[in-house]
Amino acid sequence: MSRADFIVNTIIPNMLESKALGDREYISYQFDPTKKIEDLVMSDIIFLILNLKIDGKLADKKVIVKFQPQNTAIRIMMNADLQYYNEIYFYKVIYPMLNRTGKCNMCPIYCSASYDDEAEKYLMIEDVGDSGYRMADGDMFLDLQHATLAMEKLGRYHALSYEAKKEHKEEFYGVVNKIKEAYWVENTEDLFYNNAKTMLERSMAGVAEKYKPRVQKLFEKIKGKNAFFKESLKAVEPMAVICHGDFVRNNLMFRYRDGKADNVKFIDFATVRYSSPMVDVSNLLFVSVSTEVRSSHLDELLQVYHKALTSACPGVSVPSLKDIKAEFQRVCFYGALVSIFYLPLLSSRITGECPFDQVKFANAETIAARNDLIRKVGGEEATRIIADIANDCLEKHYF
C-alpha cells in the first residue's frame, strides 16, 4: 500500500475515531504546499492540510505525519523501532499522566499513531506552525532570551514528575518502568562508543598539558561503553524526572509576538528517559547555547529553571537551587559529550564544509570506515567549536 493510500485508509480514520481534533467531518486532505517533505535521520515527515467540517462550516487543520525512515540501515543504526515506541508511548500514556491537570501545555496535540508490527509505524500530531510556532532564527545556538524561555518551560515540565510522584506514585512508576532505552543498547554499543571516542579525541587534540591526566581518565571511563553511559544516566531518587531526552534547539518550537519569543513547545520525544533533570538542562546548555553565553549566564539560567520548577506545582517538594547546581556539576558532562559528537554534524549542514553523508555512514561496513567519515565532519570551524567546549569543561572540572 502506498503512503498516500495508507493516509486515506488508515491514518485519517484513526484520527477521526480518536476525536483528538474534536468531532469533525472529514472532507479531504492535501499536502501542505508551504512545506517540503522532509527525509530526516530518524523520520520521513509529511505535512498535511486536513479539510474538515465543523458545525457545517469548512475548516482546515495542519498536521504532521512521521514515518520511520525507509532506509533499512539507518533504521537499524538508530534503533528506530525503540525510538518510535517511546515517542508514541509519550503521547499516548506519559504526557496525559503527567499533565492531567493541564498545568503545562508544552507539546503538540496527539492525533493518532500505530506501532503495529504488521503495518507501517507512524505518528500523527498537530503542526504547531499552524498556531504560529517555529524554530528559532539563526543557525546553531540560541541567544540568551530563547535559552531563558526554554529553561523556564523545562522547569515547569520537570515539576510535573515531582507532582505525579507525590499524587500518583504507583501509577507514575508503572509508567516509568515501560520506557525503553533507545540509545545505549547492545546492537549499537561499539558504533556509539567509537563515534564518541573519535569526536572526543578531535576535541581534545590541543588541550593544555596540565589537563592531559584528566583527559586520560575520561577516556578510561568511556571504555566502559554502554555500561558507563547507562550508569551515568541512572535515575537517582528523589531527583529523577521523566526527561525529554533530546532537549536541544531542533526540538524547540517558539511562538513570537511583536518579534519576541513568548512561548515554546517541545517536539520529538523519541529518547524520553527517567533520569536526572540535568540531562535535559545539560543537553540544552551545551548543544544549543554557545560556550560564551553558557559561561556568562549559567547561574542566571539555573535560577530561571529553579524558579519555574518551584512555582509550577504549589505544595510539591522539589530540589533546592543548591541541589540543582550540585547536580548540574555532577551530570553536565553528559550534555558536553553529546555536543562534542553532534555539533560537527550540525556545523557541516550550516557551512557545507565536509558534509556528513548519513546513508554512506549507515552502510559503512566497518567501525573504522565510519570513524573516517566523521573525523573531519564540519571542518575547521566544527573543530574549533568542540575544542572550546572541551577546554571549558576541563577548566570548570566538568570532565
- Quick: pLDDT tens for 61-83: 999 999 988 888 888 888 889 99
> Which of 339, 251, 193, 226 has the alpha carbon at shortest distance from 43?
251
Which residues have C-beta within 8 Å of that of residue 340, sequence separation ≥ 6? Answer: 196, 199, 200, 202, 203, 386, 389, 390
Q: What is the DSSP letter of 23?
A: S
CATH 3.30.200 domain locations along the chain: 3-126
Query: What is the spatial distance between Cα 261 and Cα 256, in angstroms, rounded to a whole number?
Result: 4
CA distance readout (Å), 247 to 131, 160, 243, 244, 252: 21, 16, 8, 6, 8
Residues of the chain with CATH 3.90.1200: 132-396
CA distance 20 to 32: 20
Q: Between 330 and 367, where is the model more confident?
A: 330
Residue with more model confidence, 136 or 193: 136
Q: Are 90 and 272 in contact (CB under 8 A)?
A: yes
Dihedral sign of CA atoms 338, 342, 344, 347 in order: negative
With a CB cutoff of 8 Å and minimum separation 6, the contacts of 84 are 68, 115, 121, 123, 270
Rounded CA-CA distance 95/104 in Å is 10
Contacts of 228-235 with C-beta under 8 Å, sequence gap 24+, read: 229/184, 229/334, 230/181, 230/184, 232/331, 232/333, 232/334, 233/184, 233/273, 233/275, 233/276, 233/279, 233/334, 234/275, 235/274, 235/275, 235/276
Domain 132-396 falls in which CATH fold?
A: Aminoglycoside 3'-phosphotransferase; Chain: A, domain 2 (3.90.1200)
> For position 206, what pLDDT does the model report?
85
For 33, phi then psi, to 5°, come to -70, -15
Query: DSSP for 121-177?
Result: -EEEEE-GGGGTEEPPSSSS---HHHHHHHHHHHHHHHHHHHHHHHHSHHHHHHHHT
Residue 35 pLDDT more than 70? Answer: yes
- Joined together, the cell numbers standing for residue 84 give 518510535
**Quick one: how far is CA 330 from the chain centroid?**
21
Q: Over the stretch 252-290, which tens digit does the pLDDT of each residue have?
A: 999 999 989 999 999 999 999 999 999 999 999 999 999
Give the span between the Cα atoms of 144 and 300, in whole angstroms.
10
Angstrom distance (rounded) from CA 48 to CA 50: 6
Scanning the structure block, which residue is given the C-alpha cell 530518524? Answer: 42
How much of the chain, in percent, has pLDDT values that exceed 90?
A: 73
Q: Report which DSSP code applies to 46.
A: E
Model confidence pLDDT, tens digit, residues 131-178: 999 999 887 999 999 999 999 999 999 999 999 999 999 999 999 999
Check pLDDT > 70 for residue 382. Answer: yes
Check whether 191 has a pLDDT greater than 90: no
Going from the C-alpha of 31 to that of each of 45, 49, 124, 275, the distances in angstroms are: 11, 6, 14, 39
Q: How far apart are CA 132 and CA 254, in angstroms?
A: 8
Residue 33's pLDDT is what? 85
Report pLDDT for 361: 85
CATH of domain 3-126: 3.30.200
What digits encode the pLDDT tens for the residues 300-334?
Answer: 999 999 999 999 999 999 999 999 999 999 999 99
Over residues 383-389, the mean pLDDT reads 95
Q: What percent of the chain has pLDDT over 70?
A: 97
Is the pLDDT at 40 greater than 80, yes or no? no
Closest CA to 295 of 156, 136, 141, 153: 141
